[in-house]
Structure 1
Amino acid sequence: MSATKTKGAIPVSHYQQRQLEAYAANIAAQKFDLTRHKCFISYHAADTDEVVRFINDFGTEFIAKTVGVTDEDDFIDSENSEYIMDQIRTKYLGDSTVTIVLIGKCTWSRRYVDWEVYSSLRDSKLSKINGLLAIQLPSGKDSQLQARVRDNIERDEDGIDIGYARYNVYPDSKSTLRDLINDAYAARTSRRHLLNNRRSRRLNSASCP
């Protein structure tokens, strides 16, 4: 699988990712709550400032696992795609049960976001599927949805959600986000039959103006 960087892409190091994960852990530690779910946060590096704001606003409502895939990972050039997905699950998603995709302007274009969502929805010997929740960041107001997320968002003619995942605007309260996370967690069983992970994995990131 190609590790070529798209022109204009913002590279993120493991060090930067771990700094954000440590920051999220400090926010989560401000509240003792055994009912919180472990959430993997998938995002595009260009949106880091907005991700920090999201963690500031809501980081006490979940246990964040924020270190994602970067160009520094030694497994991304493997020709064995199943091995790559297993590595993403083992190293990064870990024991998370809900994946939150933060949708910014160019999130749709990032191959690593696609890989993280694919691995989240993959039922394997290593792990069960995650619930899936997409949250619109301010910069993502007019952006398209990431394709694999879009495959799992469906609404009827009345605007009622009938797909596996949910896509929401930026929450107006902590309780709103908590309810959305709880719904995504429950969907792993209640809406499992609606899950769609058939799309081929993105090989490279696309350019995004």
Structure 2
Amino acid sequence: MKDISSYSASTQLALKRLDAITRINESVVEGQRKSALSPVRHKVFVSYHAADAVEVVNFIEKYDDVFIARAIGMEEDGSDIIDSTNVDYIRRTIREKYLRDSTVTMVLVGGCTWARKFVDWEIYSSLRSNPTPNGLLAVQLPSTPLSTIAPSRLTINRPKSDEDGYAEYYVTPTSVEALRREIQTAFDARTTKSGLIKLGGNLRERNSSC
């Protein structure tokens, strides 16, 4: 994990908890903790802004029965790929190192998530995955105003008034069942809506001010 000493104490603690959740989910054999009769828990990559780490970890722990957090966000320095200008290399590295065997990518949206370059990279790599892309959805964190800007690469994949879209944007779930349906919708889109994917323009080169 990166040097997180520059963050506030609460954010440092949340980032450590996120790292622990990742390792716990990776070490548990699916089916050991949950009954075979339980609803399907898809393997979800969680993309987020480090500033929202406290809310993100609370969200993941609250909905532990709904999805399996397979990997959680890229390190802030991205030292192994940040200097590369090869888009295919960046996509492949993110897929192999971070997305791993997830089938759905969920962007947890806070006020500045749109400005984080790694969120853009993670969305792009999720959409570009072969042979099957990740399902993609965004869920707004509880403290986030309704007027918050969504990441641009997500926005171009949302439904428009006159056309369908690959990804959906949701406000904070009202129930476990609602989030389960939302994740299942994203999972199903991998095969039913893959033709609607819009990769968009160049990868974001730097974080924007927020």
TM-score (structure 2 length as normaliser): 0.82
- For 2:205, give the aligned amino acid: L
Tell me the percent identity.
43
Q: Does 1:80 align with 2:83?
A: no
Task: Tell me the secondary structure at the aligned position of residue 136 of structure 2.
Answer: strand
1:136 corresponds, among 133, 140, 154, to 140
| Residue 92 to residue 175, structure 1, CA distance change in 2 (3 Å) | same
Contact 1:25–1:63 at 8 Å: present in 2 too?
no
Could you list the runs of 4 or more consecutive aligned residues of structure 1 that deviate by over 3 angstroms after TM superposition?
A: 8-12, 22-34
Deviation at 1:187, TM superposition (A): 0.4
- For 1:101, give the aligned amino acid: V
Q: Does 1:91 align with 2:93?
A: no
Q: For residues 178-193 of structure 1, what are the structure 2 equivalents within 5 Å?
A: 178-193=180-195
Paired with 1:175 and 1:26, the residues of 2 have a C-alpha distance of: 26
1:111 corresponds, among 117, 121, 142, to 117
- Between 1 and 2, higher relative CO (CA 8 Å, sep ≥ 6) is seen in 1
Contact 2:21–2:69 at 8 Å: present in 1 too?
no
Paired with 2:203 and 2:97, the residues of 1 have a C-alpha distance of: 19
TM-score (structure 1 length as normaliser): 0.82
Q: For residues 5-44 of structure 1, what are the structure 2 equivalents within 5 Å?
A: 16=16, 18-22=19-23, 31-32=34-35, 33=38, 35-44=40-49
Stretches of structure 1 that go unaligned for 5 or more consecutive residues are 1-7
- For 2:41, give the aligned amino acid: R
RMSD: 2.8
Q: Does 1:48 align with 2:21?
A: no
| Residue 55 to residue 30, structure 1, CA distance change in 2 (3 Å) | farther
- For 1:31, give the aligned amino acid: K
Contact 1:164–1:192 at 8 Å: present in 2 too?
yes
Paired with 1:104 and 1:26, the residues of 2 have a C-alpha distance of: 29
Contact 1:30–1:60 at 8 Å: present in 2 too?
no
Describe the superposition over 1:150-202 as per-residue Cα deviations: whole angstroms up to 9, x where unpaired. 01112327xxx821111011101111111111110100111112111122110
Task: Tell me the secondary structure at the aligned position of residue 66 of structure 1.
Answer: strand
Paired with 1:200 and 1:72, the residues of 2 have a C-alpha distance of: 18
Paired with 1:103 and 1:21, the residues of 2 have a C-alpha distance of: 19
Describe the superposition over 1:119-154 as per-residue Cα deviations: whole angstroms up to 9, x where unpaired. 000033xx5201101001123223101100101112
Task: Tell me the secondary structure at the aligned position of residue 202 of structure 2.
Answer: coil
Stretches of structure 2 that go unaligned for 5 or more consecutive residues are 1-5
Contact 2:71–2:100 at 8 Å: present in 1 too?
no
Paired with 1:26 and 1:103, the residues of 2 have a C-alpha distance of: 27
Describe the superposition over 1:12-52 as per-residue Cα deviations: whole angstroms up to 9, x where unpaired. 8xx83523424667999753447221110000000011101
1:194 equivalent in structure 2: 196
| Residue 170 to residue 34, structure 1, CA distance change in 2 (3 Å) | closer
Aligned length: 194
